[in-house]
Structure 1
Amino acid sequence: MTVRVLVVDDQDLFRGGFAMILSAQADMTVVGEAADGVEAVEKAEALNPDVVVMDIRMPRSDGVTATAAICARTTAKVLVLTMFDTDEYVYAALHAGASGFLLKDARRDELVQAVRVVAAGDALLSPAVTRRLIAGLTEPGRPRPELANRLGCLTDRELDTLRELARGQSNAEIARALTVSEHTVKTHVSTVLSKLALRDRVQAVVFAYEAGLVIPGRDHS
């Protein structure tokens, strides 16, 4: 399957470079480019990309606002690329519906792999920000009651799966930790997302911390 990609960045150099790298992949096609958030939303609706590679700081409409609109109006997954390794931007983008976050200084192979991961329905955060981001923005010992109450719809094994997922574990690592098959893990993850009405694994990680299922500083491996 060929992944259809829309590249969004207000800087021509970055936008052209990303487009060139992704277009060179046999399994990817860059269907369009946009220079700001407004254009990004328009082209996402018109071109039906699988993945939108999204900058954060742009004129007219920023990447967070554009991400929220694209996730609400289309089936495209959003991979946020930025030079700003600051928690506020990452957290805002995740809450807007982004499925991945990668710094612009990532290697080209990391960018390509990130697009593939997001296109496949998984989620990706830069290792530099993953648990530090979520843990740092969640008050230790102060879960949100309305979210904690929703955990009651999960079985014990589904809770275990969500807990491991929130610790940054891959399906293979979760399977080893719970002594089950990877297929079973995928089933549990899918069920957790469905029961909690979450878009993807990134939102599940955020939910687990905010609901108090995983305690910052205590559950890091």
Structure 2
Amino acid sequence: MKIKIIIADDNSFIREGMKIILSTYEECEILATVDDGKEAVDFCLANEVDVALLDVRMPNMNGVEATKLISEQTMAKPLILTTFDDDEYILDAVKNGAKGYLLKNTDPERIRDAIKSVHNGNTVMQDVVLDKIRANLQEAKAIEPESKIDRSMFTEREISIMEQIAKGLSNKEISKTLYISEGTIANYISTILSKTGLEHRTQIAIYYLTGKGK
């Protein structure tokens, strides 16, 4: 079964170029291309869309606002396509439910693979985007060194794991730091996600440092 995709970008060259490229892959079906976030939301509300590819900077409604509405009101999964100068939007897009964050200069095959992965319920973040998120989080941490979370919700171990995630550590690195197995860490992360209603570890990091969930 084909993955039903909508592409939202106010640059017609990028929008139509992406349509042509993705249409060459047998697993992709491009339902529509639109040039702003509101049109993307309206289309997702009226049609069965699997993945919404969203630019960040668009007129009428940007990709971050569209991500929030699409996540809350439809079954479509938002996947952000961005440029290097969109750093200010990254954290908000993740908090608003973006299932992936890719740079526009990514190879077409990787974009296709990201679409498939997001469609299958995974979260996709390129390393360069994760590095930007971590840098932004560390800046936030420098300004607000104390975590803003409600500590009464969590065990000390869960708080320790959230702290390590906020530092950008992988499960393997956390395992070495806290001397517990990666499997146990994964279980703790699942519990944290359940308690907070968050969806993935990047949101945990943001939540730990800002006290703000989705």
Q: Give the TM-score band, short-chain normalised.
A: 0.7 to 0.9
Paired residues of 2:164 and 2:174 also in contact (CA < 8 A) = no
One-letter amino acid of the structure 2 residue matched with residue 38 of structure 1 = K
**1:132 corresponds to 2:132:** yes
Deviation at 1:103, TM superposition (A): 1.3
Aligned pairs for 1:185-204 within 5 A: 187-204=187-204
- What stretches of structure 1 of length at least 5 have no aligned partner? 212-221
* Secondary structure at the counterpart of residue 138 of structure 1: helix
SS state at 2:109 partner:
helix
Query: Residues 188 and 95 of structure 1: is their aligned pair in 2 closer, same or farther, counting only changes over 3 Å?
Result: same
1:154-202, CA deviations, whole angstroms, 9 ceiling, x for partnerless residues?
Answer: 345544554554455666x479654244xx6654433321201213333
Q: Which range moves more in the overlay, 32-41 or 59-68?
A: 59-68
The alpha-carbon deviation at position 6 of structure 1 amounts to 1.5
Which sits farther off after the overlay, 99-108 or 78-87? 78-87
CA distance in structure 1 between the aligned counterparts of 2:80 and 2:36, rounded to whole angstroms: 13
In the TM superposition, residue 32 of structure 1 has moved relative to its aligned partner by: 2.4
Q: Between 185-194 and 65-74, report the one with greater CA deviation.
A: 185-194
Report how far residue 88 of structure 1 moved: 0.8
Q: Give the equivalent residue in structure 1 for 2:90.
A: 90
Q: TM-score, normalised by structure 2?
A: 0.78
Residues 22/202 of structure 1: CA separation in 2 closer, same or farther (3 Å cut) = farther
Partner of 2:3: 3
Q: In the alignment, is residue 148 of structure 1 matched against residue 149 of structure 2?
A: yes
Counterpart for residue 113 of structure 2 = 113
2:80 aligned residue: 80
- Rounded to whole Å, the distance in 1 between the matches of 2:187 and 2:64 is 30
Q: Answer yes or no: is the 8 Å Cα contact 2:146–2:209 preserved in 1.
A: no
- What is the distance in 1 between the residues matched to 2:160 and 2:24? 40
Q: Does 1:50 align with 2:50?
A: yes
Q: Give identity over the alignment, percent.
A: 32
TM superposition score normalised by structure 1: 0.76
Q: Distance in 2 between matches of 1:4 and 1:190?
A: 29
Against the structure 1 CA distance between its residues 59 and 120, is the aligned structure 2 distance closer, same or farther, given a 3 Å change threshold? same
Structure 2 partner of 1:34? 34
Q: Secondary structure at the match of 1:86?
A: helix
2:20 — aligned with what? 20
Q: Which moved more, 1:106-115 or 1:82-91?
A: 82-91
Contact 2:44 2:76 in 1 (8 A): yes
Distance 1:162 1:58 in 2: 34
Residue number in structure 2 paired with 1:216? none
C-alpha distance in 2, partners of 1:114/1:50? 13
Secondary structure of the residue aligned to 2:149 is helix
Q: How many pairs align?
A: 206
Question: Is residue 82–residue 102 contact of structure 2 (8 Å, CA) maintained in 1?
Answer: yes
**Partners in 2 of 1:126 and 1:105 — Cα distance?**
12
Are 1:69 and 2:56 matched, yes or no? no
Amino acid at match of 2:201: R
Rounded Cα–Cα distance in structure 2 between residues aligned with 1:2 and 1:155: 43
Within 2, Cα distance between the matches of 1:175 and 1:3? 36
